[in-house]
Every structure is written in C-alpha cells, then in structure tokens.
Structure 1
C-alpha cells in the first residue's frame, strides 16, 4: 500500500511477479479497486489467471464472474478466428512465423485464451511480401487505415491492419520482427533459423525461440515508451522466465548489445525487479545501477506501473523518456529523423503493391 498525489493505491505487481510469496491483502477495498484497474488494463481473463493464488485466500470473487465469463467468451471467439487464418497461412507454400500474443499464448501460458488480445501478428521474409498479400487477397483481405500521428505511419517493421471482409480478424503483417533497432540483431532470417514449432490447436505453427521472444518483449515495451501498452509485455516476460529455468542468457545479452538496445534491456529487467520479480533470476549485467540522469525517469515509470497508469502522459514527457530510457543515442536520433521526415511526407502504412488500396478519409 502506498500514497501518490494524496490517493491511496494498492500495488498488485508483487502478486503477479512473485506469486510464491503471497499474503492475504490487508485492505480489501483498495485491493479490489486495483484488481478492477488491472482487468481494464490487461483483460479480466488474464487478471483472474494471474491472481488465482490470491483468489484462494479470499472468500468473495475478486472480479465480477459475469464480466470474466463474457470476456473469456469473446477471447475464445477471437482465438478461433485467429487459429482459422493462422492454419491457412501455416499450411500455405509461404514461410510464416507467428509473433506476440498468438505465439506467447500458445507457449508461455497453460491456455492461449488467457493471452488472447489484439491482432494476429505474423512475420514473412521481405521477398515473400507480395506473395502473401496476393494469397490473402483471394480470401477478401483488405488493408484498413488506422488513425495516424502527426508524422504518419513510420513503422519499418509492419503495416496497417490487414482485415477479413467481415472484420472478425485483423492480421498484422511483419517483414521485420520489430522496429529499428530490434532487427539489427533479431533479423527475420535469424528468427526463422532458430524458431520452434508448436501445436496451435490442431496444426503446427512456427514461433520464435524463447530467447528471441523475451527480447521482443523488451523491444516492444521500449517502443511503447514503457507505458500502459507495455504492461502485457512485462507480464509475458515474467511468465516466460518463471517457466524457463534453462534460458540462454548469454544469447540474450549478446543480441541486445549487437542490436543497440542494451540500455532498454537494462531498463526493462530493472523495472521487472522494481515490480517485485526476483532479481536472482536475472543476470547482474542487466541490473547494474543507472546513471543519475536516467534514475528520475525510471522512478516515474515504476510509479506509473504501480499506480496502473491513472492518467495519460504528455507528448513532451514521452519524448524525454525515449531519450532517457527507451533508446540508445543513435537510435533516438534515428527515430527523430523518421518523425521529421514523416511530418513532411507522412507514410500511409500500406505496402507497395498492396492488392487493395485503401485511401485515408
């Protein structure tokens, strides 16, 4: 329990980060408020799974069962849609590798429904981009533009959502696993070469190896400026590390250094420890003390996580956070140039040769 801006908060992260060290919450009202906020942030279904050990200590439901049931049904429907299209892609003549929630749900969690949220992300080689667009066009897929920032679409890893005719499934088509600088070391070819095959509910799906998956949690969280949209990546990493005692940390350290995202990796794992994850499970090189000028920004993101993001950050604070925590200097300059170029000539996020051109309204 702690206070922030004269408001009392219950910090749920130790219950997620280290469930072996549980105790019954002392103030149920503040605990229930935190559980509801966490459910809004990551989904009621995942919240109930993560806090199931706590539920065993409390007589009344920690979340409204009807809300959890409805959310789980929606997740099952979404998963069924994604599995349908994932199987079609996996059994095509095009090499595909599934990323993010679909991959994590089928490998980190006991039931993929727990992690079901968002688009179906998949990776193809750049040389297969035209082929996979043509293949999906036969099923009626179209690119759907999303609201743009003032500098347009600047992602160099993926495109706007590729959507089924009825809108029941969004595909996020990648030619790199994540934006620069992730692909400096996590190249598309490297991910394919070191990938693993899993059973995705009746068919074989290719996903990243665990070391690559962990690093993609890091790069994606850094891209999201370690704010609310990175919370699920932090949870994914906690779940992965609890279930992977033989992780190759030398590979993780080497790839982070090679890819110019060692600083964000240090921030990511230091954040996990600040939220209650055991530091004994993480190499000391990733937990070294931060320079003084980074510490204040780091403390702020820790507080935002612990308070479950009660307010939106302003643009200036996000830009400063990028320089202080989310990118090494050369990468921050690269991102600045991308935005400057985008303000002059905004990108559409639609790949060249797209089977169906969608204009912005």
Structure 2
C-alpha cells in the first residue's frame, strides 16, 4: 500500500483514544483486555467502590471531549460482557442520563419531522438519530448534542419560514439564515428552549458532485415512519468526510459510526462507496480511515476496496484541502480563511460565480454588510497570520 508522506498530517486517534475505541467496539474478550489497559495507562486502576459517587468525575473530567462521549458506549459493552467494576457501576448513571436526554431530543425531532412532512418540505434526518435507531439500536449508547436535518435546497426558504413560525430562531443574531444558500457554508444553527438544530443546505463543507448529491437524495431510505435517512453506503461516505479533521474531535465518533454501519448492513455495497470516492476525489480520507478500521481490527475491509483507494495525487486540489484541514490551527483565523479559498477552488462554477460565493460567505460569516467592512476583516486575518507565528507541535503524522 502507498504511504502518505511524513509532512501530510493525519487526524487519527492517539494511543489512549484507540484503547478506548477498542474497549467499546471489539469482541468481548478483546474489549475487556483493552479496557483494562486503558484503565491502567490513564491511572484509573486504583478506583474503589468506597466512594462510588465520586468515581465518575475522576474518570470523566481528565478525558478529552471525544473520549467522554464514548463512555456510554463503554458501559454498554462492558456491562454486556459481564464486567463487574466500580467504574462500570458508576457509568450506568451516565448511560441512563444519555438515554433520557436522547429520548427528550428524539421527541422534539418527531415534532419537527411531522411539521416538515405536513408542509411538503423534502428533508433527511442525518447523523445522530438515524445512526442510533438504524445501527446502534440503543438510545443510551450514543450521545447526541443537537439535531441535524438536511433540507432540499429547493425548499430551503419555505423551511425557514415554517421553523420561524414554530419559534425557532437563529443561534447567532449576526447570521442571516436566508443568505446561506449563496455561500460556501453547509449549515446554519437554530435554537428553541433547550434544543438546537443544525439545519443543513449541503451535506458537507466539502463540495460533492451534483451526481453524488442527487444519489444521496434519490437513495434515501425510511428508517421509521415519516423519517428518512441516507442509505448505508452514503452514510459511510458522510462519516468519512465528517471524521477527517484534526485533533480527534470527530474522528472517534466517525470510527465508531462506520464500524456500526459496516457490521450491521447485510450485503453492504462497496462498489457504491468506491464509485463516490473516485468521482469526488475522496481517496485520502477513505484511505486513512478505512485502512485504520482494517488495521486496528474494527472491521474487515475487502482487499479490492483498499486497493481502489491507492490511486490518488497529492497535487490534487482535494489533497491540498484535506492536508490543510488536518493541520493544527494556531487560532489566528488564517487557516479558516485559506480553507475557504481551497473550497472555492473545488466548486465547479464560473470565476464570476466563485467571486460571488466568496464575498457572500464572508458577509454571512462575519456579518459584514459592506465591501469596506469585508475588506477590513480580510486584512485583519492576513495581518494576524504574520503576527501569530505557528508554534504548534505536531505529534501525530503518517
């Protein structure tokens, strides 16, 4: 297999995160072994039941956010494997919390879907709840922070009106949801009481071809009455793209999700995946994440699939985008600025339309309603780039 060069950053989990993933996802005997090792390397082995109410914070608080989100799945695996340990007993309460919270959000989702269906608004439920109900099949096993709903672009304006009438408002008053159609932004955020929706007008920031987008819509399947989701192969593609990011913030969830998709889909059609990967030049995220699944024992990926991921160019526009995407951010705004330019280069429209897209994106993102304000903010970002040298130490590469 081809190996990406040393200076090509990767988003894969670190050693501690990998142990936790294996404890959550492998067969019982192997899972227990990796759980015990994970407990040991993190200094959790000496926890006792004397103060069981205090055990969970001792474990939860030191963990990174992505690892914290796996603890409910860890409970599910260890309890089903018959592990009797003070931590597992404490995690039962966390698992129940996730279950109850998801149940409350699920009822809100049901209400929104009923409203959208009644108004004839074409949409898909994406990410969290379709994954839970179609693959995890356990409301407590996967935490969900918000609702993700994909609206067909033809119905975007109508959906905004309908949600507004139901009391949903923009999370950030600076953003104008109606304007997102003509930008590079893939979603905008709405809030109501304690609930939040990520309302998508595009599946990802990364621009998929029109043919792929149409196949996503046309291939949608019903996972419960009135609720539609992406078919498994398209769900996998979505997870690969979403998981390819720096710092492990999304990749742990992507690895767990792709594992559940592959294991729980009889007759999974790898040809669909390969065709979409090639059509959209997604070989790099596909190669990195699917090879990782295979090498770490999460799933068996067919050899012909792995072979199909080896044909890529590091000079392609897509490769440059994914390389920058996983490069550590020094916090001065320059990385996001450059990512937008690379995304613009991937969009297949005329140079005039690209100019409009870029202008509208920054007007939307910064709330700049005049060319002068936009020029001023752009200049600020560029100046900050030179005032804030990159001192980030990269610890994880290919």
TM-score, normalized by the shorter chain, greater than 0.5: yes
What residue in structure 2 maps to residue 195 of structure 1? Answer: 220
Residue 79 of structure 1 deviates from its aligned partner by 2.3
Q: How does 1:51-90 map to 2 (within 5 A)?
A: 51-54=78-81, 56-62=82-88, 63-90=90-117
Calculate the aligned-residue CA RMSD, in Å.
4.5
What residue in structure 2 maps to residue 357 of structure 1? Answer: none
What residue in structure 2 maps to residue 254 of structure 1? Answer: 275
Specify whether residues 60 and 237 from structure 1 end up closer, same or farther in structure 2 by C-alpha distance, changes over 3 A only: same
In structure 2, how many angstroms separate the alpha carbons of the residues matched to 1:331 and 1:116? Answer: 30
Specify whether residues 210 and 67 from structure 1 end up closer, same or farther in structure 2 by C-alpha distance, changes over 3 A only: closer
What residue in structure 2 maps to residue 269 of structure 1? Answer: 290
1:180 is aligned to 2:195: no
Residue 266 of structure 1 deviates from its aligned partner by 0.8
Instruction: Tell me the secondary structure at the aligned position of residue 212 of structure 2.
Output: coil
1:159 is aligned to 2:167: no
CA contact (8 A) 1:162 1:170 kept: yes
Instruction: Tell me the secondary structure at the aligned position of residue 115 of structure 1.
Output: coil
Please state which structure has a larger fraction of its residues in helix. 2
Instruction: Tell me the secondary structure at the aligned position of residue 182 of structure 1.
Output: coil
In structure 1, how many angstroms separate the alpha carbons of the residues matched to 2:129 and 2:366? Answer: 23
2:123 to 96, 107, 113: 96
Residue 20 of structure 1 deviates from its aligned partner by 5.3
1:214 is aligned to 2:214: no
Residue 262 of structure 1 deviates from its aligned partner by 1.8
In structure 2, how many angstroms separate the alpha carbons of the residues matched to 1:93 and 1:345? Answer: 29
What residue in structure 2 maps to residue 242 of structure 1? Answer: 263
What residue in structure 1 maps to residue 249 of structure 2? Answer: 228
Unaligned runs of 5+ in 2: 1-14, 46-58, 316-322, 368-398
Q: TM-score if structure 1 supplies the norm length?
A: 0.69
Specify whether residues 174 and 46 from structure 1 end up closer, same or farther in structure 2 by C-alpha distance, changes over 3 A only: same
Residue 243 of structure 1 deviates from its aligned partner by 1.0
In structure 2, how many angstroms separate the alpha carbons of the residues matched to 1:251 and 1:26? Answer: 39
1:110 is aligned to 2:137: yes
Residue 9 of structure 1 deviates from its aligned partner by 4.8
In structure 2, how many angstroms separate the alpha carbons of the residues matched to 1:41 and 1:184? Answer: 37
In structure 1, how many angstroms separate the alpha carbons of the residues matched to 2:308 and 2:260? Answer: 18
The farther-off stretch of 242-251 and 28-37 is 28-37
Residue 44 of structure 1 deviates from its aligned partner by 3.6
What residue in structure 2 maps to residue 346 of structure 1? Answer: 362
2:168 to 130, 136, 141: 141
Specify whether residues 182 and 231 from structure 1 end up closer, same or farther in structure 2 by C-alpha distance, changes over 3 A only: farther
In structure 2, how many angstroms separate the alpha carbons of the residues matched to 1:207 and 1:286? Answer: 27
In structure 2, how many angstroms separate the alpha carbons of the residues matched to 1:226 and 1:272? Answer: 18
Specify whether residues 204 and 169 from structure 1 end up closer, same or farther in structure 2 by C-alpha distance, changes over 3 A only: same
Specify whether residues 289 and 161 from structure 1 end up closer, same or farther in structure 2 by C-alpha distance, changes over 3 A only: same
In structure 2, how many angstroms separate the alpha carbons of the residues matched to 1:143 and 1:292? Answer: 39
CA contact (8 A) 2:96 2:140 kept: no
CA contact (8 A) 2:24 2:74 kept: no
Aligned length: 313
Instruction: Tell me the secondary structure at the aligned position of residue 197 of structure 1.
Output: strand
Residue 240 of structure 1 deviates from its aligned partner by 0.8
Residue 70 of structure 1 deviates from its aligned partner by 3.0
Deviation sequence 1:4-50 (CA, Å, 0-9, x none): xxxx9582232334225524455554477497437753254333224
2:197 to 164, 171, 175: 171
Residue 208 of structure 1 deviates from its aligned partner by 0.6
Deviation sequence 1:231-253 (CA, Å, 0-9, x none): 21221001111111311101100
Q: TM-score if structure 2 supplies the norm length?
A: 0.64
